[in-house]
Amino acid sequence: MAEERSLNFLEEIIEEDLKAGKYTSILTRFPPEPNGYLHIGHAKSICLNFGLGIKYGGKTNLRFDDTNPVTEDTEYVDSIKQDIQWLGFNWAQELYASDYFEQLYTFATQLIQKGLAYVDDSSAEQIAIEKGTPTQPGVENVYRSRSVQENLALFAEMRAGKYADGEKVLRAKIDMASPNMHMRDPIIYRIKHAHHHRTGDAWCIYPMYDFAHGQSDSIENITHSICTLEFIPHRPLYDWCIEKLEIFPSRQYEFARLNLTYTVMSKRRLLQLVNEKHVTGWDDPRMPTISGMRRRGYTPESLRDFCDRVGIAKRENLIDVGLLEFCVREHLNKIAVRRMVVMDPIKVVITTLAEGFTELVQSENNPEEAEVTYRDIHFSREVYIEQEDFMETPAKKFFRLAPGQMVRLKSAYIIKCEEVVKDAAGNITEVRCSHVPESKTGGANAGMQVKATIHWVSAAHAVPVELRLYDRLFKVENVGAAEGDFKDYINHDSLHIIPNAYAEPALKTGTTSDHYQFLRKGYFCVDKDSTDDTLIFNRTVTLRDTWAKEQKKG
């Protein structure tokens, strides 16, 4: 089943480690900070970390990196857990960096005892100045030479709450002249008199990322700690802590994060979109968040397939959102139930049928199914078809309905346009057609060749529904590379609401499905805003439309 595929560089490393006997099994982790909702970029990391665990018979922990109480919240913890499970993954253990606060405090004191950490009384500004620049070495200050005893006492006082925020920090004593800025005596503990979502008010000092992440990995015996490229310069510090503390040597590896065309992928920017009401929330169907995509109608399968196809490497990338759309179409084509909905109606009267004529026709629920099932649809003398499926003066290569032309009404009769009725202003109000008798499925004339088959809804039986059509959130491909404020590139036309589309009754009364294909229009799902009175559908993605492409060519 699994096709022979080349290994990515992480799989190669793991296979070498396993082969060399370095590990008997692997343990990875997914380490989100609970300060925002997960997006498709996180999905790539989730699929990678959990996927590796599954592929090599190992396990994967979920560990919340909650070392900064002022930005973190349990609301985010809950959404993150839900999103991971929805994607289809199970963690071995649910853990929190905050579980290790006591242990991390002990690690810090060990460093102090070894003369490898010191309490610094300098202000943030002073520390920044003394740090130097990438091209200029930093300088050592007077606090750097404090005695072990003094440092131990001071650090204990920090923990005890004797000092205000920012009054003191604990720094690792490494090398103020290092060409790597992160090695210039990085701050490892800071004072924050803040309420933590899990530890409450037990602590007023919190470890920095660099003093929490690697040690957490080590405590859990994580074998392969996988993160994104921007942490490459942190790796020497990651290794330094492990070496000096003499703890389990977890190893950090980095891969390139996902970037998608026509969207943004930073939590900061997504939060801004939410806070400034450019979207309705984190789960707005236009958002690249997992919750937004779920609401939009994307399936876990399609997201996993996408993450698989984008690959894992170290070079920066910008993935065409078209690939995502391909993945969702491919999955939805297999599972979506077919229904007919007319979005922009024009009335067709079939004059050769008796006044009040009505009958039931059968149409397949999904032609892709191994065993095709059918539903009944009311057909009658008056039906709605799409405005765009009729042209009074047809364009070249237009082979839908036009005066004197024939089309098939899906699962019903072939009709021929005989007359166009207009109002005083010259607008077309109605198209009058004749029908070909015996042209239904199984009829004597069913084999007649027509150039097109169009969808329709019986006028008398149509059910009004609301459709929400989404377009890309941004107007430019590479929002990250665009100059100026990213908000200048927001597509203000990204939501188009059709309050009164006409749907076939089966949509309301028939089998309920999570995913529908509205014939020839796209894939849709029911939105949570639906009420007993009004069904609301989100368009997940359109169908491939070669006719639209043809038209663009002009």
| Residues 508-537 contacting RNA, CB under 7 A | 517, 519-520
Q: Contacts with RNA in 393-422 (CB under 7 A)?
A: 397-400, 408, 410-411
For RNA, which is the closer residue by CB, 233 or 464? 233
Estimate to the nearest angstrom the gap between the alpha carbon of 229 and the chain centroid.
20
Residue 163-182 contact track with RNA, rule CB under 7 A, x = bound: --xxxxx---------xxxx
Alpha-carbon gap, residue 114 to 108, rounded angstroms: 10
Buried b (16+ CB within 10 A) or exposed e, 21-34: eeeeebbbbbbbbb
Residue with tokens 């060749």: 449
SS3 call for 143: helix
Closer to RNA by Cβ: residue 141 or 411: 411
Closer residue to RNA (CB): 295 or 339: 339
Q: Which of 11, 33, 301, 418 is catalytic?
A: 33
CB of residue 60 to RNA, shortest distance in Å? 17
Q: Helix H segments across 261-407?
A: 267-275, 290-296, 300-310, 321-335
CA 80 to CA 101: how far, in whole Å? 22
463 touching RNA, by CB under 7 A: no
The torsion defined by the Cα of 503, 506, 510 and 515, in degrees rounded to 10, comes to -50
**33 given a catalytic annotation:** yes
Q: Does 453 bind RNA (CB under 7 A)?
A: yes
Kindly tell me which residue out of 295, 329, 378, 435 binds RNA, with binding defined by CB under 7 A. 329
Instruction: Figure out which of the listed residues 446, 463, 469, 498 binds RNA, where binding follows CB under 7 A.
Output: 446
Candidates 92, 256, 349, 498; binder of RNA (CB under 7 A) is: 256
Contacts of 484 (CB under 8 A, 6+ apart): none
Nearer to RNA, 204 or 284 (CB): 204
* Burial tier of 287 (Cβ tally within 10 Å: 0-12, 13-18, 19+): buried
Strands 27-30 and 59-64: parallel
Neighbours of 73 (CB within 10 A): 14
| Residues 385, 379: Cα–Cα separation, whole Å | 12
What x/- string results for residues 358 through 377 when contact with RNA is judged by CB under 7 A?
--------xxx---------
Instruction: Return the residue matching tokens 């018979």.
Output: 57
143 forms part of the interface with RNA (CB under 7 A): no
Active site residue 257: yes
Among the listed residues 267, 304, 338, 408, the single catalytic one is 267
For RNA, the closer of residues 444 and 460 by Cβ is 444
Identify which of residues 284 and 343 has a Cβ nearer to RNA in the complex. 343
What's CA 101's distance to the chain center, in Å? 32
Q: What is the CA radius of gyration of the chain?
A: 31
Q: Least distance in Å: CB of 417 to RNA? A: 14
SS3 of residue 50 by DSSP? helix
Q: Which is nearer to RNA, 357 or 399 (CB)?
A: 399
Closest CA to 56 of 84, 85, 28: 28
Number of residues that bind RNA (CB under 7 A): 94
- Taking residues 111 to 130 in sequence order and writing x for each that binds RNA by CB under 7 A, - otherwise, the string is -----------xxx--xx--
CB of 315 to RNA, least distance (A): 3
Q: Which of 257, 347, 416, 475 is catalytic?
A: 257
User: Contact between 67 and RNA (CB under 7 A)?
Assistant: yes
Question: Segment 147-166, which members bind RNA (CB under 7 A)?
Answer: 165-166
Catalytic annotation, residues: 33, 257, 267
